[in-house]
Structure 1
Amino acid sequence: MEPHQPTIRLPETAFLNALQRSGLIPLPILGRAFANFSFKQLLTLEPLHLATHLVRLKLLTKYQAMQLLNGRSGGFLLGRYKILEGIRQDRVGIVFLAEEIDSHQKVSVKVIPSNRVSESEAFTTFLNEVKTAAGIHHSSIAQILDLGMLSGTYYVVSELVEAPTLDDLLIREGTLSVNQSVEIAGQVALGLAQAHAVGLLHRDIKPQNIAIYPNHRTKLLDLGLTNLLDDPWQQNTKRINLEEYALEIAHIPPEQTAMVDMDARSDLYSLGSTLYSALTGQAAFPGLALQSMAARQTSDIPAPSKVRPELPPFIDKLIGKLGAVDPNARFNSAMDVVSFVYPHLPAAHWRSLGVSLPRAETRPLSPKLANSKPPQEKPCNELPANRTLFSSIRKLFARSHAE
């Protein structure tokens, strides 16, 4: 028989009631955490004092404590994931740091607002893209691990990438070196080649979606999660004339603002725009959103050497081939980008990525290489969710059609 567990009785206060409703801390653990507090102290002490005590014991995060102190007791548990902190809000949803309850693995959870999935056709396309992206395992792409729905809230679980994004680096350093910019170009292009090979576009290549590790390895974020992006010309976009919105859409291709079909070359344009910012420290087409979108309809991305004259000629050629207004004047594929930048980095860099290309810039890719896929990698500490992701998607399909 198990030893008798003493009954734990907590005072009826707003904070303690919210804490128990949240489900964040099991009652026996909560009882041990407050073992040195008398019933009267729990009743009379300031909620902030009790919350701080739980944060110090690492039973609550600061984010959880602040939410509870503000009277919010829901939304901390999504299926088997515990929300720990808010990370960011982007054009699709809100991103949280979370923990898989059984394994304690840290993950990234994007919560999709209900208005983003109200249109069944758009939601079906979104589910298809999440399923496709989840099947891609590549060192330059953040892995999708799970997809779920709880009480009408849809969420996507991804590998947690604990590295600063390119926009963080640019804030700190102003511009990047030629070598690091070319490294980013090559690694992002390798990831895009994997996505494009299965018919998947990213649609939102920008500094905020490229993470850079200290060893210069890159990781592309949000692949498969951008189908629900708002139309940049949408009349109900209230932030259209705000500088913040202009920064968010600073790297979209001209065909996206012209509302015509996009293809793999659209992602390459956004990569070129991102590299221009990394090399110059400024947007290719500055100004508010409407001004910027109009400018990119008629002008190629300018040569970065106009801002930094010391840049080598091949950089201008790279940006010019990525950032042409006419998609037919761009690189035909992401692997063409890899082939172009390959001679400008040490062979050891490419070997570490599992890539072997001819060193001569003008030598064409062999048919064998052109049809090859980047190396497959297993994500570390793979969650059980990976094995059930597709069945989860099928259930969401069925549920969305039934509603």
Structure 2
Amino acid sequence: MIGHDLAGRYEILTRVGGGGMALVYKAHDVLLNRKVAVKVLRQQFVGDEEFIRRFRREAQSAAALSHPNVVSIYDVGQEDDIHYIVMEYVEGNNLNEIIQERAPLQTDEAIRIAVQICDALDHAHQNHIIHRDIKPHNILIGNNGRVKVTDFGIARAVTSSTITQTGSVVGSVHYFSPEHAKGINTGEKSDLYSLGIVLYQMLTAKLPFLGESPISVALKHLQEPFEEPRVVNPHIPQSVENVILKAMRKNPAERYGSAHEMLLDLDTCLRPDRLNEPRIQFIANHDMDETRIMPAIRGGAVAASSDGPSRTEPKAVVSDTTSVNLQDAEQEKKPKGWKKPVLVVSITLALLVLLLFGFKWVLAQLDPGEVNVPYVIGMTETDARTTLTEAGLRVKDPVTREFHKDIPKDVVFDQSKDNIRVKKGSFIELSVSDGPEMKELKNYVGQKLQSAKEELIAMGVAEERILVTEEHSEEEAGTILEQTPKDGEMFDPETAEVSFVVSMGRETVDMPDLTDMRLKDARSLLKSLELVLEEDDILYEASYLHEKDHVIRQDNFNPNDKVPKGSKVSITVSKGPPEDSKTYTFNIRISPATAGKASEVKIIYSDATGENIEGVKRTIDSTVDIPVTVILAPDTVARVTVLRDNQFMDTKEIRYDQIGAGGDSPNLTIPGDGETTPPPDTPDGDQQAQAEVDESNGENGAEGQEAGT
């Protein structure tokens, strides 16, 4: 159930408790964003249609209760064969845990708790709902001190099938009322009897009736008196003891008439004027089920009725009820001889002696003799049987077997009749440990680690004994890949270690910076890192800043991101300048500053691809032609600047709308010192072309030439 979304609304978080009929889980109501408790009916009861029908009806009746001391019912439903009740989740402890931890409680605290329980019962009884299973386990104490009574309704959803399965009356035998133990219909006063036992336990730290079996405890409820509370705990005020004595009367007629009457008594029992009130007295009842001492009936108490009509002599009745004849009494006054009586007495005594010795002789023949019962606690069952058999005793089968976390399996932890002498051949009862209670480990592979941890901790496995190792895999991070012990193996939650191999997700790599990298180089790099670049994940777009087939940007991962291996990468790649751009190439003819000496030439240009781009940097020792290519966007201007020996020589501007369809030609000449004419190898046609270009560039070109000179 852990991790299950019940009805698509209640996310089961962890198991918090359970009883004979249902399991209780802490859950999250995703619709209202609150914690709730979900009670799920055990599977063995889902086949009884009558039980299901009454379960629903009683749960709906309990939902009608609205009281601050009653756990609220939010929802009742069914999903497949899961029948559930959604109720208020109380953050705190149940009363049984508090009693086990620090009972006996202070009187005022116990009365405060009992008042709230009684108030809840009064409200329920007014709505014709009887709890029938009041016990500390069903009393929740919130962290704010508020008392909440739970399990209204489910206790009455019991049919003959449940009695057949359990073999006893359903309920908690230590808190049974006598009429409940008899198996007859129980009413409101049965709840008050159970509340009296709860108050008794809070104030004395013990139960009023204990026994070796549920049947023996039930019989004590019916027949035996309990030890009075003030005998166990003298600090209990008499007024409080009176409340317990009245609530726990075996005869329902002698108890409180209603929960409201008991509530009024609880409200006032700690008043100073009541603390030392007289002990409550009850008129002796004549319940035929109660065990009492009856006077013995003596043999001659009544004369035989058949002799009455035939006897006419008057009779006298003496103290031992023996009838004598008055005439015989008169004759006793006459003296008699003493020999005959003595003879009769002697013969009688002799016969008695012979009879006594004969009886002893017969007993001696029948008596097998006595033996000491060996102490076999701590032995294995086999050794204990052998020891008892050798001593002339027998083991009663079957032996009692119980789980014990501190006693090894098959070791005897209790025996009957230890350290006494018994008749040879007597039966000895043994109690044998089944060892720690083993549980079956379910399959957690594929589940989330946190969910598995919560479930194991709820089963009793300490968190430090849940061992986790991690490894990379294709599964989502936090998913269990392997477990030890394996699915279905039995383990002891108190001592066993549970190991999980948990996925860390896929192995990651650092995402490289692909910007301005050639596409084929980017493909190779990503492939070496086990990352995937598919053609559908490549977006092409025009770019002035990036050359064709160079990466413009990375779309889904940034450089240095941790990326799982096998992840798909998306990039944008340049397909070159836009179609409406223009490319213009022209030559710069430049000579060294001084003929015969080397000069350093640097050409810087700005166009649609960027500003102040260093296009050329070289050393010349003669006149050379250097081609310069610029790209222009519509309505823009490209600018080319020439430096020689780090001195500004000239600047040339090219406008988008000035670029014609003609071929490229040199259009910028920078002579050396003393040069006035182009070098001899320059054809006249080139000079004419240069002049035409200069003329087409307008005044800016002329100004650039003047600046160069």
TM-score bin, normalised by smaller chain: 0.5 to 0.7
- How many Å separate the matches in 1 of 2:218 and 2:159? 15
Give the counterpart of 1:109 among 21, 35, 38: 38
Secondary structure (helix, strand or coil) at the match of 1:297 reads: helix
Deviation at 1:199, TM superposition (A): 0.7
Secondary structure (helix, strand or coil) at the match of 2:245 reads: helix
Give the counterpart of 2:131 among 202, 214, 238: 202
Which residue in 2 is equivalent to 1:128? 57
Deviation at 1:120, TM superposition (A): 3.0
Asked if 1 retains the 8 angstrom alpha-carbon contact of 2:58 and 2:157, the reply is no
Which residue in 2 is equivalent to 1:335? 260
Q: AA paired with 2:120?
A: G
Secondary structure (helix, strand or coil) at the match of 2:68 reads: coil
Which residue in 2 is equivalent to 1:286? 210
Secondary structure (helix, strand or coil) at the match of 2:24 reads: strand
Which residue in 2 is equivalent to 1:253? 177
Deviation at 1:203, TM superposition (A): 1.1
Q: CA 1:152 to 1:313, structure 2 compared with 1: closer, same or farther past 3 Å?
A: same
Structure 1 residues without counterparts, runs of 5 or longer: 1-21, 23-62, 65-74, 347-360, 362-403
Q: Which has the higher contact order (CA 8 A, sep 6+)?
A: 1
Asked if 1:151 corresponds to 2:76, the answer is no
TM-score w.r.t. the length of structure 2 is 0.36
Give the counterpart of 1:311 among 220, 225, 236: 236
- How many Å separate the matches in 1 of 2:193 and 2:53? 27
Q: CA 1:171 to 1:321, structure 2 compared with 1: closer, same or farther past 3 Å?
A: same
Q: AA paired with 1:280?
A: T
Judging by fraction of residues, say which structure has more strand: 2
- The 5-angstrom pairing of residues 1-400 of structure 1 reads 64=3, 75-228=4-157, 234=163, 236-237=165-166, 248-287=172-211, 288-344=213-269
Q: Structure 1 residues 184-193 or 249-258, which shifts more?
A: 249-258
**Which one has the largest radius of gyration?**
2
Q: AA paired with 2:27?
A: A
- How many Å separate the matches in 2 of 1:166 and 1:266? 20
Q: AA paired with 2:210?
A: P
Judging by fraction of residues, say which structure has more helix: 1
Q: CA 1:272 to 1:232, structure 2 compared with 1: closer, same or farther past 3 Å?
A: farther
| Count of residues in correspondence between the two structures | 270
Q: CA 1:130 to 1:77, structure 2 compared with 1: closer, same or farther past 3 Å?
A: closer
Deviation at 1:215, TM superposition (A): 4.7
Asked if 2 retains the 8 angstrom alpha-carbon contact of 1:206 and 1:271, the reply is yes
Root-mean-square deviation over aligned CA pairs = 2.6
Q: AA paired with 1:187?
A: Q
Q: CA 1:233 to 1:113, structure 2 compared with 1: closer, same or farther past 3 Å?
A: closer
Deviation at 1:233, TM superposition (A): 10
- How many Å separate the matches in 2 of 1:87 and 1:229? 23
Deviation at 1:119, TM superposition (A): 3.0
Secondary structure (helix, strand or coil) at the match of 1:181 reads: helix
Deviation at 1:275, TM superposition (A): 1.0
Secondary structure (helix, strand or coil) at the match of 1:118 reads: coil
- How many Å separate the matches in 2 of 1:191 and 1:127? 21
Which residue in 1 is equivalent to 2:356? none
Q: CA 1:132 to 1:167, structure 2 compared with 1: closer, same or farther past 3 Å?
A: same
Asked if 2 retains the 8 angstrom alpha-carbon contact of 1:250 and 1:283, the reply is yes
Q: Structure 1 residues 111-120 or 287-296, which shifts more?
A: 111-120
Q: Deviations over 1:153-206 (max 9, x none)?
A: 100000001121111111210211111111122111111111111110111110
Deviation at 1:228, TM superposition (A): 3.3
Deviation at 1:252, TM superposition (A): 1.9
Q: AA paired with 2:77?
A: G
Q: AA paired with 1:293?
A: A
Deviation at 1:96, TM superposition (A): 0.3
- How many Å separate the matches in 2 of 1:143 and 1:301? 35
Q: AA paired with 2:60?
A: K
Q: Structure 1 residues 189-198 or 229-238, which shifts more?
A: 229-238
TM-score w.r.t. the length of structure 1 is 0.62
Deviation at 1:328, TM superposition (A): 0.9
Which residue in 1 is equivalent to 2:511? none
Which residue in 2 is equivalent to 1:32? none
Q: AA paired with 2:181?
A: T
